[in-house]
Amino acid sequence: MQMSNLKFRNIHFIIGFLLAMLTIPQVSNAQGNLLITPRRVVFDGSRRVMDITLANTGIDTATYNISLIQYRMNEDGSFTEISEPDPGQKFADGNLRFFPRRVTLAPNEAQMVKMQVTNLNKLEPGEYRSHAYFRSVPIVTALGEEAQNIDSTALSIQLIPIFGISIPVIIRVGTSDMSATISDMKLQTTPENTKQLSIKINREGSMSVYGDIQVTHVAPSGVETVLSNINGLAVYTPNKSRIVNIDLNPEKEIDYTTGKLVVTFVGQSNTKPQKYTEEVFNLK
């Protein structure tokens, strides 16, 4: 498999690359000095090969090992690593190939990792999910190059941080019958005396739901004020629901005793986003 290698040796090129990423909402994921695009990979039958771009935005050369791991999504949106699928969960790793498995990036350098789905015709209808994990390889100081301690009797401990980023890789087979609703809405006050809206997103069907949430206050006069936007929120199979606590903008002067809060959940799309659901929380 031929692998594309893009080198941005000139600082102007990497700046242009990063600015381009900023113009596309929710397509990248970054931790430490690694930028990954896109933030999720979905094979829905129309494509068998997709590229993932890794970019080193730091000032030092960095190496990353790439592997596939399995996660359970908890009801609060957090993840737990697992080795066996939960009831109704299907792993995608047996039908995925990728190259390379190890990437070394100089400062301001980017490289493509190719991801390919295999034996798609042998899969039963449904959704299969694994996560591509990009784990940094710590730089080990060569023997004899360690800095000498002034006090040779003192205990020296070197802590080396290890960063890792994972993105979901999803294979979808068959027709999607996914739908979503919102329930259990509660307006609450945080310890910092700010407002927070708690909601439950309910998922039905054979596929995961993924999209953006917006909370808008509508005053009795009809004036609308957007209080929060959450982009890239998912409820993965086999989960039936997810609880989300949404912080409402404290800088907006809102009377939370009148009017209503409108919560809209829409799918992400480059054309016309699909509205999954819209619910109203009446204030008293």
The DSSP secondary structure of 112-152, one letter per residue, reads EEEEEE--GGGSPSEEEEEEEEEEEPPPPPPTT-SPPPSST
pLDDT band of residue 145 (cuts 50, 70, 90) is low
Query: In 3D, which of 191, 201, 188 has the Cα closest to residue 244?
Result: 201
pLDDT of the residue at 33: 87
* 237-238-243-244 Cα dihedral, nearest 10 degrees: -10
pLDDT of the residue at 149: 53
Q: How many Å is the Cα radius of gyration of the chain?
A: 23
DSSP letters for the chain: ----EEE--SHHHHHHHHHHHHTSTT--EEETTEEEESS-EEE-SS-SEEEEEEEE-SSS-EEEEEEEEEEEEPTTS-EEEESSPPTT----GGGEEEE-SEEEE-TTEEEEEEEEE--GGGSPSEEEEEEEEEEEPPPPPPTT-SPPPSSTTS---------EEEEEEEEEES----EEEEEEEEEEE-TTS-EEEEEEEEEESSS-EEEEEEEEEE-TT--EEEEEEEEEEEE-TT--EEEEEEE--TTS---TTSSEEEEEEEE--SSS--EEEEEEEE--
pLDDT of the residue at 26: 38
Fold match between domain 5-139+154-173 and domain 179-282:
yes
Q: Rounded mean pLDDT of 151-159?
A: 56
Asked whether the predicted pLDDT for residue 142 surpasses 80, the reply is no
CATH of the domain spanning 5-139+154-173 = 2.60.40.10
pTM higher than 0.85:
no
Domain borders along the chain are: 5-139+154-173, 179-282
What are residue 11's phi and psi, to 5 degrees? Answer: -60, -25
pLDDT tens digits for 71-130?
Answer: 999 999 999 999 999 999 999 999 999 999 999 999 999 999 999 999 998 999 999 999
264 contacts 278 by C-beta, under 8 angstroms? yes
pLDDT tens digits for 218-261?
Answer: 999 999 999 999 999 999 999 999 999 999 999 999 999 999 99
pLDDT band of residue 157 (cuts 50, 70, 90) is low
Superfamily grouping for domain 179-282:
Immunoglobulins (2.60.40.10)
Q: Work out the end-to-end distance of the chain between its first and last CA atoms, rounded to an integer number of angstroms.
A: 62
